[in-house]
Amino acid sequence: MGGPHAADQDIEYNGYIIPKGTGLMLHQNGIQMDPDLYPEPEKFNPDRFLDHPLKAGDYVGIADPYKRDHWTYGTGRRICSGMHVAENSLHIVFAKILWAYTISAPRDDGGKLLQVDLSDNAFVLGAVTVAKPHRCIFSPRNSQVAETIVREWKEAEREGFQLGDRKPYYIRLSYVWGDPSVTEEILVDGIPTQVTVNLANALKHAKKHWMGIKRESGNAFNPSDFRIWAHAICINQDDLTEKTAQVQLMTTLYSSAVFALGWISSTDEGIADALSAFRRLFNALGTSYEAINGHHVPDLDGPDWAGDFIEMKKALASPHDASYFNPKDHTFITGSLETFARCTFWTRVWIQQEITLAPNVYYACPARTISHGKLYLTVDSIYAMLTERRYVKATPFFEPTAHNLANELDRVYGRLSIRFLAYMPSLHSKLLARLKVLIDTFSGELAASRPVDYIYGLLSLTGLDMVPNYSRAASDVWIELATKYLEIFQAERPEPNGMCPAREFLEPHGILHFIQLCGAGLGRDKNLPTWAPVLAPLPQRQHRFPICKGSRKVYMGLLELQSCPDPRAVEGSLWVTAVRVQTVLSCDKEPLRIAPLEIFAKTVAAQFESFLVTHGPTYVSGQPLLTVLSSTLFNQKDAASGLEMLHHILLMHELVTLRLSEQMIRDGLKRLPYESMERHFVEWAAKRGFFDG
């Protein structure tokens, strides 16, 4: 069958009416097998085309369609626009094959010719009919032809073409673009090309590092095999159509590379010392591991590196113990570590995809490299040492700066951890990796050269159903991002244990996390709703908009918000459940004091009795008054728990009046098991400093 067409108006053909909009397809097989056009159509007879000496493109527009040579490329306005390329390619391919090879039927082990099946059963039928796999013999016509075939095959492989089933071999460069106005000329296939200075420096050192990595692995290699993929060169950045198509393939491009080379800096100053120190720290940890475990250090550079990391960390128990590091390394921690952590490499949006999806990653500066696994173990050790007080105290040499250094290292540690989570086998870990990427997207701490790249640069990791398209306005893409983000919570269903992992993970940051980067303010995009996030380079970022998150949620005990729908974005509007706040008309003379408990209980009993007298048993929202007050007072999402805690406190101090007791029963007091109620009460009291433990 040919390509589909549609009638743009009502058509009458041989007495048949074809209504406007009808889908039509050319029955190519029926035409090609028409004996009036092609006598004996089943017969192989190339001579039938000798009276059509021109190419197919010369016949498709002739007035008499019966004088066309063939109908393979279709007809009408949707005829194949690439017919000239297709036909010329076929001529070249067949000419070369016939020049180079004698093609004959296959033979069995005894040399007897085997019959080749040419029936319809030998073909896969469909929109395009193709032959099924079959045997035949390709024999070079002479020795000179054979030498030419071998030579051109090798030349093609050196040029990057992979013939046969082999995967293309290349490493992928991950780098910061740098100032686009400051460039350096390089040659790409002999063509002078301007690239940023940082890219030029990376390309000068990339092959040297590749060879060093291959030598260190102990694997044999051929220097001529080196190929590198750098997006500024391999993708036409000025062609939005090409850029859109290539970005949609990024997952494949990243994961198909042999490894990614993360070019941290074009200068060795501070960075080379840092990478050397990381290697020393890893060797120290490795020595301790072998002494403790009696085994060789696991391979942190292989496909199971995440599992090896866990094994090594468990064996060491405290890999961040300061005793593993010598005084020289303490000097590094207070010196070069800050320079390393502040490299712009760690703030570039695209870096996360590049170091997460590649099978392996090495980080480099002009003089040094280190693998991802080794870097992650040492950074994990240092970060834990800087953030755990007992280890900071054990190393007073850098105690005054530990907090600041931990803050500097936090971004690097977070980026490396996402790759670790993504390589863990559990689905829960992979979900956490996705969610951490979404938090980074809304962090306001990443930088990109194009507004839409704040989304597209992380899209392969978020799992959001979005398709990169560089012709779209940034405001539209940002709104779609927020919409898809909120759909995570709308679609999530509790697991068998009752947990909702996405909600549990993101709630401490606030489900409306992105509002802190909202578009309100001077210079905002007029097409961007005031609630939508503004993702911009750091110097241009809007002031953060404060949001309630985590334990600071003032509505924790509001019954009205416990079963409300999640926030959602619909047609450019953000819908969020809210409450109308009442005006405070009066306050007690004394604030409600938690300690001592007896005074607290007496105060609560008196106030609740007073509320029942002045307001009645029902709150303005229609909820039972005591249920609302107890839930708000004790910050309990479960109304029954709040009411039971109130009853327990009053009962302990013999303050449960008949009126309060009857009203609690009417309001749904169920007398929960003592252990359950006690747990709620202890947690609540401990949070308020009522008692320790």
Same structural domain, 483 and 568: yes
Residue 508 to residue 550: CA distance in whole angstroms: 4
Does residue 114 share a domain with residue 57?
no
Token code pair at residue 270: 């501070």
One-letter amino acid at 160 equals G
pLDDT band at 691, cuts 50/70/90?
A: very low
Q: Are residues 624 and 567 in the same domain?
A: no
**Is 486 among the domain residues?**
yes
Same domain, 648 and 625: yes
Q: What is the pLDDT at residue 218?
A: 84
Mean pLDDT of 239-264: 90
My answer on whether 510 and 455 are in the same domain is yes
Mean pLDDT within 138-161:
82
CA atoms of 683 and 634, how far apart (whole Å): 10
80 marked as binding residue: yes
H-run or E-run covering 353? helix 351-357
Q: Residue 274 class from Cβ within 10 Å (0-12 exposed, 13-18 middle, 19+ buried)?
A: buried
Question: Is 604 found in the same domain as 554?
Answer: no
Are 343 and 249 in contact by the 8 Å Cβ rule? The answer is no
pLDDT greater than 90 at residue 364: yes
The neighbouring-strand residues paired with 263 are 364
Per-residue confidence band for 682, with pLDDT thresholds at 50, 70 and 90: low
One domain, residues 606 and 534: no
Q: What is the pLDDT of residue 260?
A: 95
- pLDDT on residue 318: 59
Query: Which pLDDT tens digit goes with each residue over 303-354?
Result: 888 888 988 888 887 555 555 666 666 666 667 888 899 999 999 999 999 9
Structure tokens at 545: 């908009």
The answer to whether residue 271 is domain-embedded is no
**pLDDT tens, position by position, 493-529:** 777 777 778 877 776 676 777 777 776 555 667 777 8
How far apart, in Å, are the Cα atoms of 298 and each of 98, 285, 303, 349? 54, 12, 12, 31
**Residue 334: in which H helix or E strand, if any?**
helix 327-334
pLDDT at 634 over 80: no
For residue range 257-316, what is the model confidence (pLDDT) as tens digits? 999 999 999 999 989 989 998 998 899 888 888 888 888 888 888 888 888 898 888 888
pLDDT at 389: 63
Is residue 331 in a domain? no
Beta bridge partners of 447: 348
pLDDT category, 555, cuts 50, 70, 90?
A: very low
Spatial CA neighbour of 135 closest among 104, 106, 103, 101: 106
568 in the same domain as 453: yes
Cα–Cα dist 272/372, whole Å: 16
- When pLDDT is averaged across residues 357-378 and rounded to a whole number, the result is 95
**Is 212 part of any domain?**
no
Residue 663: other Cβ atoms inside 10 A = 19
Residues 73 and 105 in one domain: no
Quick one: pLDDT at residue 671?
60
User: pLDDT-based confidence at 184, cuts 50/70/90?
Assistant: very high
pLDDT higher at 373 or 516:
373
Identify the pLDDT of residue 112.
84
Distance CA 363, CA 174 (A): 9
Residue-range definition of the domain harbouring residue 70: 4-81
Q: Is residue 565 located within the same domain as residue 452?
A: yes
- 381-391 burial, b if ≥16 CB within 10 A, otherwise e? bbbbbbbbeeb
Q: Are residues 113 and 72 in the same domain?
A: no
Calculate what percentage of the chain has a pLDDT beyond 70: 82
- SS3 label, residue 396: helix
> Which of residues 658 and 369 earns the better pLDDT score?
369
What average pLDDT score do residues 171-195 get? 90
Q: What is the pLDDT of residue 197?
A: 94
What three-state secondary structure class fits 677?
A: helix
Look at the pTM and tell me if it is higher than 0.85.
no
Per-residue tokens: 587: 């306050």
188 beta partners: 191
The residue among 133, 158, 183 that closes a domain is 158
Same domain? For 537 and 570 the reply is: yes
Q: Is residue 249 part of a domain?
A: no
**Residues 598-605: contacts with CB within 8 Å, 24+ apart?**
598/653, 600/649, 601/649, 601/650, 601/652, 601/653, 601/655, 602/653, 602/655, 604/633, 604/646, 604/649, 604/650, 605/650, 605/655, 605/657, 605/660
In a domain, 662, yes or no: yes
- Amino acid found at 50: L
Question: Which three-class secondary structure state does DSSP give residue 587?
Answer: coil
Where a domain ends, among 134, 158, 182?
158
Give the model's pLDDT for residue 295.
85
Ramachandran assignment for 198, one of left (phi > 0), alpha (psi -120 to 50 degrees), beta (any other): alpha
- For 40-51, write each residue's pLDDT tens digit: 988 888 898 888
Q: Summarize the confidence of residues 551-558 as an average pLDDT.
A: 47
Which pLDDT score is estimated for 334? 67
pLDDT surpassing 70 at residue 548: no
Whole-angstrom Cα distance, residue 302 to residue 311? 14
Question: What percentage of the chain reaches a pLDDT higher than 90?
Answer: 19
Per the structure, the count of domains in the chain is 4
**In this structure, is residue 14 part of a structural domain?**
yes
- Domain boundary (582, 611, 627) is at 582
pLDDT at site 571? 82
Report if residue 431 sits inside a domain.
no
pLDDT tens digit sequence for 54-93: 888 888 888 887 888 888 888 887 788 889 999 999 999 9
